[in-house]
Structure 1
Amino acid sequence: MSRQNPSLLDVTCEAYVLDVAKLSPTDATAWGIPGHEHELQDFSPAYWDDLAGLARDLLADVDAFDDCTDDSDDEDDFDSADHITAAILRDRLGLQLDLHHRAEFYGQLNNIASPVQTIRDTFSLMEDQEAIRARLAGVPAALDGYRESLALAAGQGRVAALRQVELLIAECGNMGGFLHGLGAPEAEADTAARAFGELADWLSAELAGVAPACDAVGRERYELFSHEFLGAKVDLDEAYEWGLDELARITAEQEALARELYGNGTTVTEAIARLNAEEEYTIRGVDKLRDWMQAVADRGVAEYGTPPIECCIDPAGTGGIFYTPPALDGTRPGRMWWSVAPGEDTFHTWQELTTVYHEGVPGHHYQITAALQAPLNLWRRVVCWNSGHGEGWALYAENLMEHTPATRMGLLDAQRLRAARVALDIGVHLGKKNWDAAYARNFLRENCSLSSAALEFEINRYLGWPGQAPSYALGQRLWEQMRDESGLPLSEFHTRALSYGSIPLGLLREMMRG
């Protein structure tokens, strides 16, 4: 408990976190709550129902505590921090229960954020071989439970698009190499790999045949996902048009910068090719990439005074780049992970510097360690995470660091990608004119300089995880609006806004307005 005098609601939130950790050992590992390292949840319908039951009970407690609050200044009354916590709980857990009611958790299946990836990623955070061995032994039961949930969702008409099913079949088939690389005894790795193979067979035989060919989820579901990820309700049609306008603005700035770098008549494509050809900005080899990441991250840590960060290469090889927070118990530092796609060996610092700022300092590492050190209850410090707040901040933070013309081209390239996917994500899932997977892929190719492998990963991510990708640029937009509205000196605005933890942006904007 972080507050000096924890309230009744603080204590209740801490009990809720510990109860969730018991039900969901992979979350306990991610949060750094010890005692569950040898366990693995089964992802069955009963698991999701039990999580929903905990959320429902906590919301009932919030309402009961709030009803008892009066003007008598009793120590059990809500204070200002409790009122904020209650508002966040109602928003986040209310959405969680709505999604559960619609069988969205039972049917989770995509290329980045579903139980298969949860199981895979938890091993990347583990070092104790005995715990790894025990958790590997739990993989068959976990995947049996996941299959049960998928079947239940399918019975209710909730099946992921065929594209995502086929991607997961391939991922399950490729898990053997990852599992055998964990250092556990071969028998346990073989058993877990066989379980993934059996899941792949079941997906092919039972789910692929009923999976829809259409990737779009439709407006009703998309509005719910958008609220979940962004933490605010927005006019999706206005956001779509804004994304296209922002894309045009960034493109024009890139065109001007291309001429500044290499002279009149130079196109953006030509400037990018010339930057890629310059040895000054070229790294060859994954080990050298990690060393460069670490050096950049260390400079940010020194400038902002944050705890150290560790840069790692993710063995999963999916092509994603992400951050994992420090463990609550201090056993694991904050880490930046680069999941290098197979065959990738050359990297360009002009393009990737902004990514290190995003994942490290002053991006996620600065933001999350600030929340961990804030006088907030355990749920708000460690568990509550809102993509619009977190990813919006990290995108906003990329602009806080100094850039040369070359690295500014990289910054704009990243910003252009984020603006493009606002239009892409909304366009595809709301079924706007021309927006199918083929159009989306060509549109993305025209508006980013990603490698072919990274582009394919990204397009599949947007098609299978609706509402998440736009939360970056739309979150940045809200952060910039809050900054401009506050009238505060920049450092004061940052300190105050981050002191609340990762909360829904709609609520944060209300609080920053007073």
Structure 2
Amino acid sequence: MVASQLGADGYDHTLGDFTAAAFTARAREEAGWLERLSTLEAATPDDAIDRDLVLSQLRGWVALASWPDWRRDPAVYLSAVFTSLFNPFQQRLKPEPELVAAAVSRLAEVPGVLAACRANLDPDLAAPLLVRRGLDQARTGRRFLTRTVPSMVRDPALSARLAEAAEPAARAFDELVAFLEGFACGGDWRMGERLYSTLLRERELLGYGAAELHEKGGAAWASLDERMREVARRAGGTADWRAVMESLMDDHPPTLEAMRAEYEAETRRVREFVRSRDLVTFPEGEKCLVLPSAEYTRPVAAVAHYLAPPPLTSSRTGVFFVPFTPDDFTEEEVRQRLRTNSRAQMPSIAAHETYPGHHWHLSHMAGNPRTVRKVFRTPYFSEGWALYVEKLLHEQGYFDTPATELAHLDCRVFRAARIVVDTALHCDDMSIEQAETFMATKASLTPGTARAEVSRYCAWPTQAPSYLTGALEIDRIRQAYQGSLKAFHDRIAGAGGLPLGLAERAVSRPGEGTPAG
């Protein structure tokens, strides 16, 4: 399944092996590869970066063997099914008959994958919160398989064939829903300071652990809070930036589709701004679509997100997914989602997801000739890059009103709050309720969005701090770079999505592995 998502040929017909034996065997292989590669000598500095990139990933996987997500979280199985069936039809890199044939083959494997989920979940390890998240996603399975995916097929006969093949898989989802509804478990979602710090040091190659990261988040929040007070006076006549942001959030698109259309217009505007300022080199053939978020992601993703083209293919078409709500949301819940995508906030969010954020970065780095750089990347770079470029555009004058400037800073203070909350949730004793209150009062999140955010942090430890942590590190590296701003951007982003220590090495020398430009 991973190989197919990367764009490697020959794997589109299968989901892979999700049995306990397969997970255990992969863990043994990872440990073996770590031992073998640790003694490998590199012929060139770029080879050394490649080796150390792989080693960082292997160290992370070996460390996480003590925290087996496949025994804790239904999302391991559900995400594999959803993405493997949705992404090929969204990206359409092969003729439709081939896509349908591959999907039919995969649908036949869905009952086995979901049976493995039921067999592998450990009631002593699985946390009720993670199971509830999985249940919410599983409930979308029948509609997704029997209606959403077939509706993406243009040929009526092929669509009907796919819908027919989906029925046994849909029944397997029904069975999983019933299982999860009655699944009693008592595990903990808290990762703990020891493993959390190990991942920061050995996988992300940061020089510090959870406690220092928590302090960095608090200091960043305090600094941003002071700056926002000054901007709020200009935007709303008061230093109370939360109150000003509340007022700005009342100016939002009237409907979800109008929100998508306004994001599409903002994406065109930010692309033209980046090009006019000559901030980066645009890869040939890149294109960014702006679409509603996929139905299966709506119960668990309350914010905008991006789908990159498979990195081992020639495609340069990505998708900026606008955060639509589930169909069963009330009118008020939809309104709150629209408020967290206000017109003042849209410029920052569009820049983050598209130009020169995720879409530009991943399209540009696809030109790197080193395959390993395309396969392995860390959110501490990719999310750090997307937040770094928000600050870059602020410096360049893109946020040209007090309202958009305040919203830009609010996006940043939100990421500082994420550092504080994620580390406190997993390494201390902050409760979910305290975390939700913190996110709703220390950043301009509605209560519903704050709940969805905190649920995500519980399920995905160490990811939430990646945004601001990476942005600060990239900014630090930029200050020491000898060369033009454009050359720095092309080089560091073109080198891949490297752990920050390796990214610094990649820009400190000419480098064989970066695209021209």
TM-score (norm 1): 0.82
Alignment of 1:10-89 (within 5 A): 25=1, 27-52=2-27, 55=30, 58-59=33-34, 62=37, 66=41, 78-89=43-54
Whole-Å separation in 1 of the counterparts to 2:489 and 2:59: 28
How many percent identity over aligned positions?
25
Q: What's 2:248 paired with?
A: 275
Supply the AA of the counterpart residue of 1:253: R
Aligned counterpart, 2:71? 107
- Residue 58 of structure 2 corresponds to which residue in structure 1? 93
Structure 1 CA distance for aligned equivalents of residues 467 and 379 of structure 2: 7
> In the superposition, relative to structure 1, how do residues 160 and 354 fare at CA in structure 2: closer, same or farther (>3 Å)?
farther
Looking at structure 2, the residues matched to 175 and 228 of structure 1 have their Cα atoms a distance apart, in angstroms, of: 37
Name the counterpart of 1:323: 306
State which drifts further: 419-428 or 161-170. 161-170
Give 1:314-353 correspondences, 5 Å limit.
314-316=293-295, 317-318=298-299, 319-327=302-310, 328-330=312-314, 333-342=317-326, 343=329, 344=334, 346=338, 347-353=341-347
Deviations 1:210-258 (A, max 9, x none): x23x542221222234447744242322221221121122122222212
Amino acid corresponding to residue 308 of structure 1 in structure 2? K
Partner of residue 197, structure 1: 174
Structure 1 residue 507: Cα displacement: 2.3
| 1:163 counterpart (104, 108, 129) | 129
Query: For the residues of structure 2 that align with 1:467 and 1:115, how far apart are their CA atoms?
Result: 21
Structure 2 counterpart of 1:149, one-letter code: N
The corresponding residue for 2:149 is: 182
Which ranges in structure 1 are unaligned for 5 or more consecutive residues? 1-24, 70-77
Query: Which among 446, 450, 455 is matched to residue 451 of structure 1?
Result: 446
Supply the distance in 2 between the matched residues of 1:454 and 1:147 (Cα, whole angstroms): 30
Match of 1:466 among 454, 461, 470: 461
The 1:95/1:217 distance shift into structure 2, 3 A limit, reads closer
- Distance, in Å, in 2 between the alignment partners of 1:169 and 1:369 is 34
Does residue 387 (structure 1) correspond to residue 379 (structure 2)? The answer is yes
Instruction: Report how far residue 55 of structure 1 moved.
Output: 4.1
Q: Residue 266 and residue 498 in structure 1: after superposition, are their counterparts in 2 closer, same or farther (change >3 A)?
A: closer
Query: Structure 1 pair 511/374, CA: closer, same or farther in 2 (3 Å)?
Result: closer
- Is the partner of 1:283 in helix, strand or coil? coil
Q: In structure 1, what is the equivalent of residue 115 of structure 2?
A: 144
CA distance in 1, matches of 2:253, 2:203: 34
CA distance in 2, matches of 1:135, 1:331: 23
Question: What RMSD in Å do the two structures reach over aligned CA positions?
Answer: 2.6
Distance 1:56 1:257 in 2: 51
- Match 1:358 to one of 352, 356, 366: 352
Report whether the alignment pairs 1:121 with 2:79. no
Question: In the alignment, is the contact (CA less than 8 A) between 2:63 and 2:199 conserved in 1?
Answer: no
CA offsets per residue over residues 253-310 of structure 1, 9 Å max, x none?
22221210232x36323322332344xxx32233332232233323444514241111
Instruction: Mark the CA change 1:379 to 1:462 in structure 2 (over 3 Å): closer, same or farther.
Output: same
Instruction: Please show how residues 362-377 of structure 1 align to structure 2 within 5 Å.
Output: 362-376=356-370
Q: CA deviation digits over 1:443-477, x for unaligned, max 9? A: 11102223343222111011221111011111112
Alpha-carbon distance between aligned partners in 2 of 1:426 and 1:65, rounded to the nearest angstrom: 34
> Is the 2:291–2:321 Cα contact (8 Å) retained in structure 1?
yes
- What displacement does 1:513 show? 5.0
Q: Distance in 1 between matches of 2:364 and 2:203?
A: 21
User: What's the offset of the Cα at 1:423?
Assistant: 0.8
Q: Which of residues 269, 283, 288 in structure 2 aligns to 1:309?
A: 288
Mean alpha-carbon deviation: is it higher for 129-138 or for 159-168?
129-138
Count of aligned pairs between the two proteins: 460
Residue identity in the other structure for 1:371: M
Residue pair 2:85, 2:103 contacting (<8 A) in 1 also: yes
Q: Which moved more, 1:39-48 or 1:351-360?
A: 39-48
Q: How many angstroms does 1:387 deviate by? A: 1.0
- 1: CA distance, partners of 2:140 / 2:467: 30
**1:403 maps to which residue?**
399
1:287 aligned onto 2:253: no
Q: Against the structure 1 CA distance between its residues 231 and 368, is the aligned structure 2 distance closer, same or farther, given a 3 Å change threshold?
A: farther
Q: 1:89 to 1:498 in 2, by over 3 A?
A: same
2:478 maps to 483
Equivalent position amino acid for 1:360 in 2:
T
- Unmatched 5+ stretches in structure 2: 90-98, 151-158, 510-517
Structure 1 residue 510 displacement after superposition: 4.2
The alpha carbon displacement at 1:420 in A equals 0.5
1:216 maps to which of 173, 187, 190? 190
Distance 1:119 1:161, change over 3 A: same
Any idea what the Cα deviations from partners look like across 1:417-439, whole Å, max 9, x if unmatched? 1101111111121115xx11111
Instruction: For 2:304, give the aligned amino acid.
Output: I
Structure 2 counterpart SS, 1:242: helix
Q: Select 1:505's aligned residue among 481, 500, 507.
A: 500
Q: 284-293 or 471-480: which moved more?
A: 284-293
| Contact kept? 1:225, 1:466, Cα under 8 Å | no
Against the structure 1 CA distance between its residues 225 and 61, is the aligned structure 2 distance closer, same or farther, given a 3 Å change threshold? closer
CA distance, structure 1, for counterparts of residue 248 and residue 39 of structure 2: 61
Q: How many angstroms apart in 2 are the aligned matches of 1:497 and 1:331?
A: 21
Deviates more, 1:50-59 or 1:342-351: 50-59
1:430 to 427, 432, 451: 427
Does the Cα contact within 8 Å between 2:15 and 2:80 map onto a contact in 1? no
CA distance in 1, matches of 2:294, 2:491: 37
Deviation for aligned residue 1:197: 2.8
2:305 aligned counterpart, secondary structure: strand
1 CA distance for matches of 2:259 and 2:72?
33
Q: When the two structures are superposed, what TM-score results if normalisation uses the length of structure 2?
A: 0.81
Helix, strand or coil for the counterpart of 2:344? helix
